[in-house]
Amino acid sequence: SAKNSTISRLLFTFFLFLGTLVSIIMIIPGVEKELHKLPGFCRGSDSVLGVQADVDCSGFLGHKAVYRMGFATAAFFFLFAVLMVCVRSSKDPRAAIQNGFWFFKFLLLVGLTVGAFYIPDGSFTSVWFYFGVVGSFLFILIQLILLIDFAHSWSQLWLRNADESNAKGWYAALCTVTSIFYAASITAIALLYVYYTKPQGCTEGKVLISINLILCLIISAVSILPKIQEAQPHSGLLQASLITLYTIFITWSALANVPTQECNPTLLLRNSTGSAADPQLTTWWDAPSIVGLVVFILCTLFISIRSSDHTQVNKLMLTEESGAGAGTEAAAESGAHRAYDNEQEGVSYSYSFFHLCLLLAALYIMMTLTNWYRPDDSLQVLHSPWTAVWVKISSSWAGLLLYVWTLVAPLVLPQRDFS
pLDDT of 185 > 90? The answer is: yes
- 123 — pLDDT class (breaks 50, 70, 90): confident
- Mean pLDDT, range 302-330, rounded to an integer: 53
Instruction: Please list the alpha-helical segments (H only) found in 93-202.
Output: 93-99, 102-116, 124-165, 168-196
**Average model confidence (pLDDT) for the chain?**
77
Report pLDDT for 183.
Answer: 94
Of 53-57, 143-147, 401-405, which has the strongest mean pLDDT? 401-405
Report pLDDT for 55.
Answer: 44
DSSP assignments along 231-242, one per residue: H-TT--HHHHHH
CA dihedral 304, 347, 308, 295 (to 10 degrees): 20
Report pLDDT for 163.
Answer: 77
- 164 — pLDDT class (breaks 50, 70, 90): confident
Report pLDDT for 225.
Answer: 87
- Mean pLDDT, range 47-60, rounded to an integer: 48
The Cα 378–Cα 32 span in angstroms is 22
- 136 touches 364 (CB < 8 A): yes
Q: Quick one: which of 371, 361, 195, 379 has its CA closest to 283?
A: 371
pLDDT of 330 > 50? The answer is: no
- 181 — pLDDT class (breaks 50, 70, 90): very high
- pTM higher than the cut 0.95: no
> pLDDT tens-digit profile of 304-317?
666 545 555 555 55
Torsional class of 30: left (φ above 0), alpha (ψ -120 to 50), beta (otherwise) = alpha
How far is the first Cα of the chain from the last one, in angstroms, to the nearest whole number?
33
- 229 — pLDDT class (breaks 50, 70, 90): confident
Report pLDDT for 295.
Answer: 80
Report pLDDT for 46.
Answer: 44
Distance (Å) of CA 223 to CA 199, 227, 237, 306, 416: 34, 9, 7, 26, 20
- 291 — pLDDT class (breaks 50, 70, 90): confident
- 345 — pLDDT class (breaks 50, 70, 90): low
pLDDT of 214 > 90? The answer is: yes
- Mean pLDDT, range 194-214, rounded to an integer: 88
> pLDDT tens-digit profile of 88-116?
776 777 778 887 788 899 999 999 988 88
- Mean pLDDT, range 360-385, rounded to an integer: 76
pLDDT of 72 > 90? The answer is: yes
Report pLDDT for 10.
Answer: 84
- 167 touches 382 (CB < 8 A): no
Report pLDDT for 88.
Answer: 73
Q: Quick one: which of 84, 45, 4 has its CA closest to 358?
A: 84
pLDDT of 12 > 60? The answer is: yes
> pLDDT tens-digit profile of 260-278?
878 877 766 544 444 444 4
Strand-pairing partners, residue 381, are 271
